[in-house]
């Protein structure tokens, strides 16, 4: 039997949160439905954050209702504060993610406080969520580079990963927010964190700005990571990470993993349909190599 790697689809949240134009709620719903049809079992369906900071996610409650998130343990939403958690609980979320960083400068821009302050803020939220039976993921952004303060040492990531794990996050997603690192630096961070947090609790969340995303995912999987975040069509970017482009594309990762002998439970053709839907229903063109190779348009 093939070994499994779980793909966490972040397109409906990370993929769309920074899009420059408004996106119809019906299109976000249509995208999630197509991703489910493709066999995606874990997905970020939105976030409960300040609509002033991230207007594209303001309709997350409506989206969750429409796609039946109450009944889907694999549907996840981001929350940044107590108000966001209240909204997630009211919507019957089964999984949430809290998010901080390995650099204070990025945390300040993204969530308005230092890393240490964010950990203090999240601890009671995680406790409340867990008491309500909600699974919690902890994100660490800027694991190798910060857009404001430069390179980040692997050892700077370790205490954040430990703190999130100790407060009750069942999974730590390592965010290479800028998409600048090459596999050597990714390997160094994973080795440093895996000395303190079990490998089966780590997820790889890589952006593809410099075209290193697939190589970096391959490296993470080679080291034993079995949960990989990706966005359909290669959409995405954080509004607080200037210059960084999309996430590594789900279809590139599924193609890679299947080719390397792993099972994902995802149908590549149906995933390409979901990518095509982004173009047809939202006017957002997929930028992934695999999409362009298999669905035309030539390579970018």
Which residues here bind ligand HMG, judged by CB under 6 A? Answer: 14, 17, 47-54, 78, 80-81, 83-84, 99, 110-112, 139, 141, 175, 177, 205, 207, 238, 240
Q: Would residue 278 show up in a list of annotated catalytic residues for this protein?
A: no
Q: How far is the CB of 60 from Mg ion (least distance, A)?
A: 16
Identity of the residue, 117 or 285, whose beta carbon is nearer to ligand HMG in the bound complex: 117
Q: Around 62, how many Cα atoms within 13 Å sit in the side-chain half-sphere? A: 11
Identity of the residue, 103 or 264, whose beta carbon is nearer to ligand HMG in the bound complex: 103
Of 113, 146, 169, 238, which one is the catalytic site residue? 238
Residue ranges binding Mg ion (CB under 5 A): 14
54 binds, among ligand HMG, Mg ion, none (CB under 5 to 8 A by kind): ligand HMG
Identity of the residue, 52 or 184, whose beta carbon is nearer to ligand HMG in the bound complex: 52
Identity of the residue, 129 or 272, whose beta carbon is nearer to ligand HMG in the bound complex: 129
17 binds, among Mg ion, ligand HMG, none (CB under 5 to 8 A by kind): ligand HMG
Q: Which residues are catalytically annotated? A: 238
């Amino acid at each position: 039997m093939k070994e499994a790697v779980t793909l966490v689809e972040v397109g409906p949240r990370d993929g769309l949160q920074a899009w420059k134009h408004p996106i119809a709620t019906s299109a976000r719903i249509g995208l999630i439905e197509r991703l489910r049809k493709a066999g995606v079992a874990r997905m970020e369906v939105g976030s409960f954050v300040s609509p002033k900071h991230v207007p594209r996610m303001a309709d997350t409650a409506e989206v969750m209702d429409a796609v039946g998130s109450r009944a889907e343990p694999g549907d996840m939403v981001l929350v940044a504060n107590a108000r966001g958690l209240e909204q997630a609980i009211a919507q019957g979320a089964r999984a949430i993610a809290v998010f901080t960083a390995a650099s204070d400068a990025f945390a300040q821009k993204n969530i308005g406080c230092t890393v240490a302050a964010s950990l203090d803020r999240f601890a009671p939220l995680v406790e409340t969520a867990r008491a309500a039976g909600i699974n919690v993921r902890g994100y660490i952004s800027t694991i190798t580079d910060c857009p404001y303060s430069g390179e980040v040492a692997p050892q700077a990531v370790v205490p954040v990963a430990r703190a999130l794990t100790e407060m009750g996050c069942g999974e730590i997603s390592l965010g290479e927010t800028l998409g600048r690192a090459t596999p050597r630096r990714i390997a160094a961070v994973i080795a440093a964190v895996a000395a303190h947090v079990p490998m089966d609790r780590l997820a790889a969340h890589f952006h593809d700005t410099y075209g290193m995303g697939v190589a970096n995912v391959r490296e993470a999987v080679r080291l034993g990571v079995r949960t990989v975040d990706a966005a359909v069509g290669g959409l995405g970017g954080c509004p607080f990470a200037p210059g960084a482009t999309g996430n590594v594309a789900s279809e590139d990762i599924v193609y890679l993993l299947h080719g390397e002998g792993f099972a994902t439970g995802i149908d590549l053709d149906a995933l390409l349909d979901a990518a095509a839907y982004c173009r047809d229903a939202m006017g957002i063109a997929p930028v992934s190599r695999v999409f362009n190779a298999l669905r035309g348009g030539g390579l970018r």
